[in-house]
Each structure stands twice: as C-alpha cells, then as structure tokens.
Structure 1
Amino acid sequence: MSWNGGAQRLDATAVEEVVLLDSDGGRIGTADKSTVHHRDTPLHLAFSAYVFNSRRELLLTRRAATKRTWPNVWTNSCCGHPLPGEPLPSAVARRLGDELGLTATAIDLVLPRFRYRAEMSNGVVENELCPVYRVRTEMEPTPRLDEVSETRWIHWDDFVGAVFSDEFTVSPWCAEQMRALTELAGGPDDWQVAAQAELPPAARLTSE
C-alpha cells in the first residue's frame, strides 16, 4: 500500500488518543495517550517509519531526554500512533512534519503486521501492533527538540552492520524491525510494498 495524500493536523488543545486493540488486532476502544504507557500497557496501534534519501541513507533520530519511553536512545526515523479514524499513512506524514519538519515523496507499507513488547528497566512497557513504513524524502530534517535531540544520515548497509555487531545500540523495536527488514528481498529500494489487506483489522479500518 502506497500513500498519495496529505495529513491532518492535531489541534494543540485536543486530547491525543490511541487506538486500543484485542489480541487479533481488532479495535476495542481508545485511551488518552498520556496515560497509556505504564507497567501494564494495553496493546495499541502504532507505526514506525524508516526515512531514506536518494543516496540510500537512512535518517536516524535520537529520542529526546524528556520522552517517557526510551529517552536518549537512538532509533529509526519516526514512530507514533494514528488518531482514531486516521489512516496510517496520514499519521506517518503528520508525525514526520511535526517531529522532523519533513514532507515525504512516498510512504510505502513494508511490514504490515509487526508486533512487539518491550520493558524498560523502570518497568514501563511498550506494547504495540506497529506496521512499518518506508518513506522517501530529499529534505533535511529540522527536529523538534522536545521530541528528537539529534539526527544523522547513515548508509543502510553500514547501519545494519553496526547494529548487528553491537557497535551501535538502538531502541528494542528498531532492533527487531531491522531483523525483519533484512529478511525482505533486496535492499530498501527493493522492498515489496504490502497490501492494505495484510494490516491488522483496526489498521485496515483507518487506512485508505
């Protein structure tokens, strides 16, 4: 599934909600994002984006020190949660603009059913069904420092080698996603675009 549209803007005064899921990926409700991450975080819908430029470089981001989960940790380009009723590609575009000042030229679904659970040393848990998207841009990021403290471009092959050799530490979801991405045929330019029907049910309901 490829993206062809824009993204809605989130009203700064609105409560940001996430979509809660059952074990099969069906929607069972919503919750205030500010309250959902704790020691018993419910399964909810999210996404991860891997932004590439024409030089086959991946944009890495370092999470801000104020982030509730995995502060100061390097990770993939962008992560987030779709609003209730928001198509996933639109959520990707919205967060890329909000966090990094980027406009995408393509947003393609590559891992439609990625799921993970990870626990921090303080007991706070991430628990997400998290489809993964390949994004293309030729822009340079202008990060919001309350979300992203640093950015860097790195060639995909160099990044994979550094992570797999334990020379570079990334967030737990990024490490798991990288293993899944390297199992796809070819490199980032060759990854096959997945169909909307392969998404979890709740994500299909919010995708165009």
Structure 2
Amino acid sequence: MPLLILVNDKDEEIGTSEMLACHTGRGVLHRAFTILVFNPVGEVLIQKRSAGKLLWPLTWEASCSGHPVAGEDLEAAAAKRLPEELGFTTMLRTQGHFLYRAAYRDVGSENELCYLLAGEYDGEVRADPEEVAEHRWVALEELSTAMEADPDGYAPWLPPALDLLRD
C-alpha cells in the first residue's frame, strides 16, 4: 500500500503513513492536491465522487483530487492522477496551498495541507466510473450559488480551493 507524506503546517515532511490511517479519527496532517480545470469560456469542471468513496461519497468536488505518495513530486502526482480519473492531460500550474480539516460523519476525516493546481482543457472527458459518478462544466458564479444553497452537497476542500483561486 502506498504511503502518504505526513507534513507539519509549514509543509515540512515529518514522516509517512498509510492512507487509511491518515483519514481515521481526526486524521493526520498530510500533503494533498486538488485540481481545477477550466474550459475556454471560463467554466470549471466539477465531478461527483463515486458511491464507493469512503469519505464524501456522491458529493461534488473539484475537477480532480489526490495525494502524492512518499518519494513522489506533487506536480508529477497531479499530472498522473488527472488522466486516471478524467481521461485527459493538460498543463497544470500550482496556485498555492491551504490547510483544512473536516470530519465526515463518524467515518473519518480529512486533515490536509492541500495544493491547488489549475489548468485549461477543451475536449472530451472520459471519467473513470470507479472514481467519478458524474461530471459537468459549470460557471463559477453558478457553482458559488449552488454551494451556498447546499453546502453539504460539496466536498469541504472545494470552497477553500475556490477562495485561493480568487485571491
């Protein structure tokens, strides 16, 4: 099983741990990434997480999210994960990072130092049904309105990612 990278709040590596251990109880702070992909008219691609996900199944999130594993470069991990989940590649640029912690019912939690990467794409999306229940392109204003109306319908890392993008 691949090991995730444990970090402190300054993103200094302090160890490794299995994915499940990082997401059990209050979670252990680890490095992660989320990706926002935009089309040429400025809409963002969002996905609904598959029903098989342990945390936040069937909730909307960013275009793609994941974790670099021990010894793996963050940008390389993101570039690898995007085609695995959505079936395409595009150039990604790191926008910054944010810290967040969120509990999902009594199942587990996220405790991440999460990097935001963004890119542009204009083509076919071939989402992996094991990872993605559905996907769609949406205007940022429409997404913000929808998140305000139904905050529980969206993964907790999406609002801070969008806030970071706006800053």
TM-score normalized by structure 2?
A: 0.91
Q: By how many angstroms is 1:88 displaced?
A: 1.4
* Structure ID, larger Rg: 1
Give yes or no for contact 2:26–2:103 (8 Å, CA) kept in 1.
no
Q: Does 1:107 align with 2:89?
A: no
| Distance 1:34-1:157 versus aligned 2 partners, 3 A rule | same
Output the CA distance in 2 between the equivalents of 1:120 and 1:72.
Answer: 13
Q: Of 110, 126, 147, which aligns to 1:142?
A: 126
Gaps of 5+ in 1: 1-14, 185-208
Output the CA distance in 1 between the equivalents of 2:127 and 2:2.
Answer: 20
Output the CA distance in 1 between the equivalents of 2:107 and 2:69.
Answer: 26
> Deviation string for 1:69-118 (max 9, x for gaps)?
111101111110012222211111111011111111x21111x2311000
Q: By how many angstroms is 1:24 displaced?
A: 2.7
Does the residue aligned with 1:114 lie in a helix, a strand or coil? strand
Q: By how many angstroms is 1:123 displaced?
A: 4.6
Q: Of 156, 162, 165, which aligns to 1:172?
A: 156
Out of 87-96 and 23-32, give the one that drifted further.
Answer: 23-32
Q: Does 1:121 align with 2:105?
A: yes
Gaps of 5+ in 2: none
Output the CA distance in 2 between the equivalents of 1:147 and 1:16.
Answer: 18
> Deviation string for 1:123-153 (max 9, x for gaps)?
5110000011112122221111111110011
Q: By how many angstroms is 1:163 displaced?
A: 2.2
Give the aligned partner of residue 65 of structure 1. 51
Higher strand share: 2
> Deviation string for 1:19-64 (max 9, x for gaps)?
0112332111111224421113110000010011112111110001
Give the aligned partner of residue 161 of structure 1. 145
* Shift >3 Å, 4+ stretches: none
Give yes or no for contact 1:103–1:139 (8 Å, CA) kept in 2.
no
Output the CA distance in 1 between the equivalents of 2:150 and 2:53.
Answer: 24
Does the residue aligned with 1:117 lie in a helix, a strand or coil? strand
Output the CA distance in 2 between the equivalents of 1:138 and 1:89.
Answer: 21
Output the CA distance in 1 between the equivalents of 2:70 and 2:23.
Answer: 17
Give the aligned partner of residue 21 of structure 1. 7
TM-score normalized by structure 1?
A: 0.74
Output the CA distance in 2 between the equivalents of 1:52 and 1:27.
Answer: 31
AA in 2 matched with 1:108 = R
User: What's the % identity of the aligned pairs?
Assistant: 33
Q: By how many angstroms is 1:172 displaced?
A: 1.2
Give the aligned partner of residue 44 of structure 1. 30
